[in-house]
Structure 1
């Protein structure tokens, strides 16, 4: 029975008892205590305890109704806080939700020690916001860029970094902007952005921004590949030297570089380039000798080798000796490493 029905029923009962008692014409009764006295009809004296009991039960029902109401409100609050915690864990954010009930506090303590990730399968729940977040996370992990309007992720989080890389891969103009403002991003992000720019932008554009990049071997290789494909607008020797200056290339790296540039640079330019590189870094000497041998600069090769130790650059010395004897070999048939 609801409170409303109980109140109506109890009032009707009190009225019926009062009416029945009053109809019996019991008269009046006087209650006296010390100097105080109260005279009321018997019917009223009969219903007074009944009315008092009814009033006390009203208070009892209202009190425990309020207790139940606030408990349910606490559960609703904790349920919302739990979904907020799950969303924060999915987005790799710190969550500061406070829980009101003991059970939910224990559950939140457990969840805060776990890593929550959505499955690769279709996710569905009654919470639309959670469905939206999981869908966005799955899109990011699939390599798609999700707009900041759709999902709020911290840029420093793994998810935020992945979404940034996805944006770079999808939007070459954004990638170019990242390279231009490279001081605002970490090395891996700038590297990915520059690789995107290399694959889609012209050499003219690349020459305007490449100085913003800290190079590693992979970037140097990709940049010089782009340079060879666009030799008409390619780098000057001084620019190539400046690029490799701060990259730790090995003898084999320089040799591979010489082989690749052999077909795109004119002889004078490539010889000048590797001569300067060898003066700057001893690791480039073998590549320089390779270039001299490829372009039949035997006198210059002989002059250089004359100032080296007996056990150095043996393959090149053998090549010079063979040519002096009228034997024509190339370095592909000799070991020059």
Structure 2
């Protein structure tokens, strides 16, 4: 019952009792006291009847008011605990580690501990929660998921959408890609954790892809002059193939510097040479033969790839002369190819038989489809 209703009904009740008593008994009654203090009080009997009721009324009102005050403080405490839980949810939805909080209600403390044991990811098909901060952040995450960059959202580096947002920011923007490649995340403690948890290299790869697809030779050469160029093997292949197609201009020294910084394996050098052989022509063949010749003198892992390019462009005598500089049992595929080349064996059989078999299997899958289409064609 609301206190004001209690006051109104209480006053009406006391007035009715007092009025009815005064109506039936109009005499007075005197109260005489001789203990410690002598006094005498004379009041109508109706008043004496109402005094205990008034005392009980005020006592009841006091306890009701006290209870209301206690409930109000409990409600405030409850709301503070709810706000703390919502704040924790907000922190965790951004991927942050939630700090320990003090809760008035031990059940909320239990809920907080349970939440800390999980990562909170957005359910994009859910309805709004009614909390502005949560809903606004959720909407920003939805935009990130839809390939829109949101610079103002403060996602932790371990959040799955952090990587996507970073890629969205550099999408089709060569200058932002350039700025991304200039950053060294390993200098930052928080971002160093990123290296281990979500592979920052994919962000750098996305930045390189933007620069390469924009064919921005100026920015690419600026990046290549930095100490750390954050380049992966897949990016090297893209870059060198674009160079071979004359869409990007890069000097030989820069390519050699890239290969030294990345520290490619012998297998990777061979894969690079195989991909490069597909775009060689009379205008660029000497450039890349000269490039691999320089690499072979500085990086031993590139020698096998250099042999492949020499044999691919039919420079057999040069390959055999180079072979003489190494022990007899080194680079046996070179000797084998030179001995059997007249029998029509493909070069790839000797250098990468697994890749040759894979390519052959793919061709065999394509040929039946072509034959089937030819058989279905009506030539009449």
TM-score after normalising by structure 1: 0.80
Partner of 1:136: 140
Query: Number of residues paired by the alignment?
Result: 330
Residue in 2 that maps onto 1:240: 255
Shift of 1:10: 2.5
Q: How many Å apart are 1:62 and its aligned residue?
A: 0.8
Please tell me whether residue 124 in structure 1 is matched to residue 128 in structure 2.
Answer: yes
1:64 and 2:67 are equivalent in the alignment:
yes
* Poorly superposed stretches of 4+, deviation over 6 Å: 318-322, 327-331
The Cα shift of 1:275 comes to: 1.7
2:2 alignment partner in structure 1: 2
Q: Deviations over 1:125-163 (max 9, x none)?
A: 333433333333344344432341xx4323454433332
Distance 1:111 1:310, change over 3 A: closer
Q: How far off is 1:84 after superposition?
A: 2.5
- Residue 111 of structure 1 and its aligned partner are, at CA, apart by 2.3
Answer whether contact 1:203 1:226 (CA < 8 A) is retained.
Answer: no
Describe the superposition over 1:193-226 as per-residue Cα deviations: whole angstroms up to 9, x where unpaired: 2222222242232112134413331121122122
Q: 2:289 aligns with which of 253, 259, 271?
A: 271
Tell me how far 1:267 sits from its aligned partner. 4.8
Q: Indicate the SS of the match to 1:33.
A: coil
Match of 1:198 in 2: 212
Contact 2:149 2:168 in 1 (8 A): yes
Q: C-alpha offsets along residues 178-203 of structure 1, whole Å, 9 cap, x if unaligned?
A: 12334567551323222222222422
Q: Which residue number in structure 2 is paired with residue 288 of structure 1?
A: 306
1:304 aligned residue: 322
Partner Cα distance (2:250, 2:238) in 1: 14
- In structure 2, do the counterparts of structure 1 residues 269 and 306 end up closer, same or farther at CA, with 3 Å as the change threshold? same
- Per the TM alignment, residue 78 of structure 1 is displaced from its structure 2 partner at its CA by 2.8
Secondary structure of 1:65's aligned partner: helix
CA shift, 1:332, in A, is 3.5
Instruction: Give the C-alpha shift of residue 330 in structure 1.
Output: 7.9
After superposition, where does 1:1-337 map in structure 2 within 5 Å? 1-19=1-19, 20-21=21-22, 24-26=26-28, 28-43=30-45, 44-96=47-99, 97-148=101-152, 151-155=153-157, 157-169=159-171, 171-182=173-184, 187-188=200-201, 189-212=203-226, 213-230=229-246, 234-246=249-261, 247-251=263-267, 252-256=270-274, 259-260=277-278, 262-263=280-281, 266-293=284-311, 297=315, 300-313=318-331, 316-317=334-335, 332=346, 336-337=350-351
Give the Cα separation in 2 of the matches to 1:17 and 1:307.
125
Contact preservation (8 Å) 1:254, 1:284: no
For residues 119 and 14 of structure 2, the distance between their equivalents in structure 1, rounded to whole angstroms, comes to: 63
User: Post-superposition shift, 1:296?
Assistant: 5.4
User: What is the Cα deviation at residue 238 of structure 1?
Assistant: 1.9
Structure 2: stretches of 5+ with no match in the other structure? 352-380
1:65–1:137 CA distance, 2 compared to 1 (3 A):
same
Contact 1:198 1:223 in 2 (8 A): yes
Normalising by structure 2, what TM-score? 0.73
Cα distance in 2 for partners of 1:12, 1:296 equals 116
Structure 1 unmatched ranges of 5 or more: none
